[in-house]
Amino acid sequence: MHELRPWLTLIFQRRRRLFVGALLLLATFISGIALLGLSGWFLTETALVGLMFAAGIQAYINLYVPGSGIRFFAVSRTVARYFERLYNHNTVLRLLTDIRVTLFNRMAVAGHRDRGRKTGAHWLSRLTADVDALDTLYLRLVAPAALAAVVALMVVVLAWILFSLQIALVLLALLALAFVMATWSVYRRTRELAGQLNDRQEHLRSEVIEHLEGFAELTASGRTGKHASRLIRHSLTLSKEQAVVDAQVGWHLALTQFLINLSSVVALWAGFELFQSGVLSGPVLVLLPIVLMGLGEVYAMLPDAFGKLGATVSAAKRLNEDILPAPAGSVSGILSATSDHSELALTATDITVGHPGSAPILNHFSIEIKAGERLGIVGASGSGKSSLADTFAGVIPPISGNITALPCAYLTQTTVVFEDTVKANLLLGNPEASDAELWRVLELVELADRFAREATGLDTWLGSGGNRLSGGEARRLVLARVLLSNAPLLILDEPFTGVDSETRDRIAPHIDHWLEGRAVISLGHGPEALLPSGHTLHLN
């Protein structure tokens, strides 16, 4: 459970909102219970007075107070419910934002290496699911559980005042047992399975993806049917296990409701002794059991929420592992800058390139690149050129050796287009750039016409992951973004991936010209994939 602590701390930063929301929820619960309780009291009172009237006995009954009380609670229940839903929904949406922004900020200060290689689509979808699991923490778990406890205690105090301490204590015991049943007990019984279900489902997901990716081979070997029935078997097992959790929750809910109804019966039974000894009036005797039955609604949402707590805790655990470790050092894009007037743009001395914990990719690598020099690096896929580029740019530190470099702009091998406008995407490269400069750099990569045709020009929305662009267009856009930077050193990893050869041949000389006087390291799988270079290294 301690896994939830950082998230609960985050949620409780909005203490006042949570408090107001809880008060509204409390008002809703109390109105509902009071409406029924007061009505029951009123009926018994009128029945008794009615009997006296019938017997010709003079009696007095105040109809005004209970009548208006009943009307008041009927309205307050509706109104409180409406505003409670509205207010708490607003709170939840704020918390959604808080959680995401905080997560992002923590990930942003942690270096690339701390994130490890967790960047694949699989990891991202899991991250989404985990964050979603935390969204329910307040409205489904914290608030209802706290309020169920508060309302139950209020009812116990009411029993003490109206009935006796003894009865109040018995009720306290029953209601406390029901509370444990609806919360801790459900959690304990489902914790393990609920926590695993998520993992199992993710495992099945990757199996299905593999099935689809290998569909041609499986079809050729005549094994799609066999393989698919295995997947269906796995999914059926998963359904059955989910059913076990659901059934557990169901039993706990039934038991909780039983205990609450039982407390109502106990209150009535014990109350009769007091009634017959004259300590208690008939209407008051009826009031408490009805109020107790009303508690059922307050407790009803707990078992389901606590049945999912196991999954929430394991989601929190994964998030904590992913992003909470103290940041070792931030990525600034450069390791240690040499002075701006230096003759050398980059110096690498006897560096070993690789990812910690696995075999080094390059050993004893040294290089000096002068300001304004052009260097090409050619290597096959898997030869380590992207790791070398990462190391030059300071994304991953060298395992050993030293690198000093001027501030650099780095075009990564993967094309990253943000779900935003053309302008916002380009301005990342140089936040001070004017619109004219943006158009100029778009011209350079032959994208200016493409966006000039759009009615919104630079404000054209690029869609999720830039899906409104073709692969080649997206590559040229991110290339333009790097070209916009004023850094004296550029590192371009596969600058022309997905760009057809004719376009590439047209734009490469222009880019070369634009970058005159700046040092450029371009990396690619063959010489044709590079910018024109002074000399070229071949990696093996």
List the interface residues with another protein, window 15-44 (CB under 8 A).
35-36, 39-40, 42-44
The nearest distance, CB 463 to another protein, in angstroms, is: 10
Give CA–CA dist 225/231, Å, rounded: 10
User: How far apart (Å, rounded) are the C-alpha atoms in residues 91 and 81?
Assistant: 15
Q: Is 73 in the site for another protein (CB under 8 A)?
A: yes
Residues binding another protein: number (CB under 8 A): 146
Instruction: List CB contacts of 470: < 8 A, sequence separation 6 or more.
Output: 498
Taking the C-alpha atoms of residue 294 and residue 36, their distance in angstroms, rounded to an integer, is: 8
485 lines the binding site for another protein (CB under 8 A): yes
Q: How far is the CB of 449 from another protein (least distance, A)?
A: 25
What binding mask, one character per residue, do residues 75-114 give for another protein by CB under 8 A, x or -? x-xx--xx--xx--xx--xx-xx--xx-xxx-xxx--x--
Closest to another protein by CB, 103 vs 155, is 103
Tokens of 207: 């199996």
The site map against another protein for 491-520 (x = CB under 8 A) is ------------------------------
Query: Cα 267 vs. chain centroid, distance in angstroms?
Result: 45
* Closest distance to another protein from the beta carbon of 164 (Å): 15
Beta strands, E only, 252-361: 344-353
**Binding residue for another protein (CB under 8 A) from 170, 285, 499, 530?**
285
Least distance between another protein and beta carbon 317 (Å)? 19
CB-nearer residue toward another protein: 127 or 369: 127
If the CB atoms of residues 127 and 531 are measured against another protein, the closer one turns out to be: 127
Question: Based on the number of CB atoms within 10 Å of its own CB, is 382 exposed (0-12), middle (13-18) or buried (19 or more)?
Answer: exposed
H/E stretch holding 97 reads: helix 64-109
Separation of alpha carbons 151 and 174, rounded Å: 14
Q: Restricting to residues 141-170, which ones interact with another protein according to CB under 8 A?
A: none
Query: What tokens appear for 382 in the block?
Result: 């898997």
Among 19, 215, 402, 452, contact with another protein (rule: CB under 8 A): 215
Residue number with CB closer to another protein (205 or 513):
205
Least Cβ distance, residue 14 to another protein (angstroms): 13
Which is nearer to another protein, 135 or 513 (by Cβ)?
A: 135
Reduced to 3 states (helix: H, G, I; strand: E, B; else coil), residue 306 is helix
416 touches another protein (CB under 8 A): yes
Q: How far is the CB of 50 from another protein (least distance, A)?
A: 4
Q: Does 209 bind another protein (CB under 8 A)?
A: yes
CA distances from 177 to 136, 191, 293 (A): 25, 19, 16
Token pair, residue 457, equals 């020009």
Among 236, 452, 498, 506, binds another protein (CB under 8 A): 236
Q: x/- binding map, residues 303-342, to another protein, per CB under 8 A?
A: ---------------------------xxxx---------
Strands 374-378 and 519-524: parallel
Q: Which residues contact 122 (CB under 8 A, 6 or more apart)?
A: 202, 205, 206, 209
Main-chain phi, psi angles of 402, to 5 degrees: -130, 145
Nearer to another protein, 97 or 366 (CB): 97
Which tokens sit at 10?
Answer: 């985050």
Measured CA to CA, the distance from residue 461 to residue 442 in angstroms comes to 16
Give the nearest distance from C-beta 124 to another protein in angstroms: 6
The residue from 196, 261, 347, 503 that contacts another protein (CB under 8 A) is 261
Which token pair is 80?
Answer: 């409180």
Looking at 465, 509, 527, 534, which residue binds another protein (CB under 8 A)? 465
70 binding another protein? (CB under 8 A): yes
Looking only at residues 350 through 409 of this chain, which bind another protein when binding is defined by CB under 8 A? 355, 357-359, 380-383, 393, 395, 409
**Residue 272 within binding range of another protein, rule CB under 8 A:** yes
446, 505 contact by CB (below 8 A): no
Is 428 near another protein (CB under 8 A)? yes
Closest approach of Cβ 370 to another protein, in Å? 23
Whichever of 244 and 344 has its CB closer to another protein, that residue is: 244
Which one among 12, 19, 119, 467 touches another protein, defined by CB under 8 A?
119
Closest CB 240 distance from another protein, rounded Å: 7
Q: Least Å distance between CB 406 and another protein?
A: 14
Distance of alpha carbon 5 from alpha carbon 187, whole angstroms: 17
Please, what is the minimum distance in Å from the beta carbon of residue 527 to another protein? 14
Residue where the block lists tokens 């079809």 = 219
Q: Which of 8, 10, 23, 74 is the binder for another protein (CB under 8 A)?
A: 74
User: Which residue in 402, 326, 340, 376 sits closest to 495, CA to CA?
Assistant: 376
One DSSP character per residue, 203-240 reads HHHHHHHHHHHTHHHHHHTT-HHHHHHHHHHHHHHHHH
How does DSSP classify residue 421?
B
- The answer to whether residue 187 forms part of the interface with another protein (CB under 8 A) is no
199 binds another protein per the rule CB under 8 A: no
Determine, following the binding rule CB under 8 A, whether residue 452 of this chain makes contact with another protein: no
Strands 344-353 and 362-370: antiparallel
Cβ of 486: how many Cβ atoms within 10 Å? 11
| 6/282 with CB nearer another protein | 282
In sequence order, what DSSP letters do the residues of 472-506 get, joined into one string?
HHHHHHHHHHHHH---SEEEEESTTTT--HHHHHH
Q: Of the ranges 141-149, 335-343, 344-352, 415-423, which one interacts with another protein (CB under 8 A)?
A: 415-423
Give dist(CA 213, CA 216) in Å, integer: 8
Identify which of residues 248 and 314 has a Cβ nearer to another protein in the complex. Answer: 248
520 pairs with which residues across the strands? 374, 490
